[in-house]
Amino acid sequence: MSYKQIKGSYSFLTIPMILIMGMVIGWPLIQTFIFSFTDADLLGITKPGFTGLNNFLDAFQNRGFLNSLKVSGIFAVVVVSVEVILGTSVALLLNQPLIGSKVVRVFLILPWAVPTIVNAIMWRLIYNPEYGALNSLLYQLGFIDKYISWLSSADKALWAIIFADIWKNFSLVTLIVLASLQSLPESQVEAAKIDGANSWQRFFYITMPHIIPSLQVAMVLRIIEAVKVFDIIYVMTKGGPANKTRTGSIFIYQEAFTNSRIGAGSSFAIIMVAFIILLILVYMRTLSQQKR
C-alpha cells in the first residue's frame, strides 16, 4: 500500500477535529461576520436588522475606534521591532560557547511561560506608585527624586505596558532563532572564515539568510498577538488613563459587551482581522524580498 493510499484511508480520523474546530472557531467567525452587517444587540432583545455596510462606514468615522487602532499600531510596531532585535541578539549570544549559557536558556523560558494575567498583575505591582519595586530601585539609584505613577501618567502608561510585554515575549523570538542558529552548518561559517569574511559579513551573508525563515514565523506570531493585544492592557490599565492605552481589542470589547452593540463591535473586529492579515502580508513580502 502506497503512502498516499495509507494517508487517504486514515484521513477520516481528522473528522472529529475538523468538526470541533468548526464549532468552536468556524461558527463564531461566521456569526461575527453575519452580525457585522446588522444592528444586533448583545441580549438579542430586538430582532437584528440588516444595516448593509453602515457599520463599516461608521467605523472609519468613529474617532474612538481610529484612535484605538493607532494605539494598537504603535504597540505592535514597537513591541515586535524591539522583540525581534533583542530576541535575535540574545539568541546570537547564547549560541556562543559561553559558560552558563545552558542555564540562561532555561531561565529565558520562564517569563514566556508565565501566564499573561500573572505577568500583568506582577508588573502592576512593580509599577505601583506607592510601593512598587521600580520606583524604589530608581529612587535608590538617584534617577528619580520622587515616586512616579507609571500607569496613570498619560505619556508613560503605554510605554510601561510595552516594556512589560517585551519582557514577557522577547524570549519566544530568542528560542525560535536559537533553534535555527543551531541548525546552521559549522562548515559554512568555517569556509567563510577561510575566505576572509569578517564577523559582520559572516552574519549578513550566512547567518541572517539562514535564520530569516524562522524569524518570519516568530514575527508573524508576534504581530498577530501584538495587534490583538487585550489581556495585559485590560489587567494593567483597562484602556486608561483617558483612553491612552485603549487598543482596538479593548475598544471592540467595550463596544460589543459594555455598550451592548454586538453588530457594530463585530464590524470593528472584522476590520481588525483585515488589518492583521494586511500587516502579515506586508511583513512576509518584505522579508521574502530580503531573503532573495
Binding footprint of another protein, residue count (CB under 8 A): 22
Choose which of 257, 277, 288, 290 interacts with another protein (CB under 8 A): 257
Identify the helix (H) or strand (E) that includes residue 277.
helix 262-291
Which has the closest alpha carbon to 255: 242, 270, 244, 241? Answer: 270
Write each residue from 180 to 199 as x if it is in contact with another protein (CB under 8 A), else as -, in one continuous string: --------------------
267 near another protein (CB under 8 A): no
CB 249 to another protein: min, Å: 15
For another protein, the binding residues in 34-73 under the rule CB under 8 A are 42-45
Asked if 21 interacts with another protein (CB under 8 A), we say no
Least distance between another protein and beta carbon 159 (Å): 15
Q: Work out which of 241, 280, 283, 284 binds another protein, going by CB under 8 A.
A: 241
Q: Does 151 bind another protein (CB under 8 A)?
A: yes
Residue 170 and residue 87 in contact, taking contact as beta carbons nearer than 8 Å: yes
Look at the alpha carbons of 27, 31, 32, 37 in this order and tell me if their dihedral is positive or negative: positive
> Using the 8-state DSSP alphabet, how is residue 50 labeled?
B
Q: Does 149 bind another protein (CB under 8 A)?
A: yes
* Closer Cβ to another protein, 55 or 237, answer by number: 237
Gap between the Cα atoms of 246 and 161, Å rounded: 12
- Helix (H) / strand (E) containing 122: helix 116-126
Q: Where are any strands of DSSP class E within 74-174?
A: none
Residues of this chain, 120-139, that bind another protein according to CB under 8 A: 129-130
Strand partners, 38: 50
- In the complex, least distance from residue 161 CB atom to another protein, rounded to whole angstroms: 13
CB of residue 74 to another protein, shortest distance in Å:
18
- Nearest to 259, CA basis, from 117, 30, 64: 64
- Residue 23 CB, nearest approach to another protein (Å): 16
Mark 69-108 with x for binding to another protein (rule: CB under 8 A) and - for no binding. Answer: ----------------------------------------
* CB contact at 8 A, 179 and 263: no
How far apart, in whole angstroms, are the C-alpha atoms of residue 246 and residue 210?
Answer: 38
240 near another protein, rule: CB under 8 A: yes
CB of 272 to another protein, least distance (A): 20
Query: CA–CA separation, 143 vs 65, rounded Å?
Result: 37
Report how far Cα 286 is from the mean position of its chain's Cα atoms. 19
Give the footprint of another protein on this chain (CB under 8 A). 42-45, 129-130, 149, 151-152, 154, 237-243, 254, 257-260
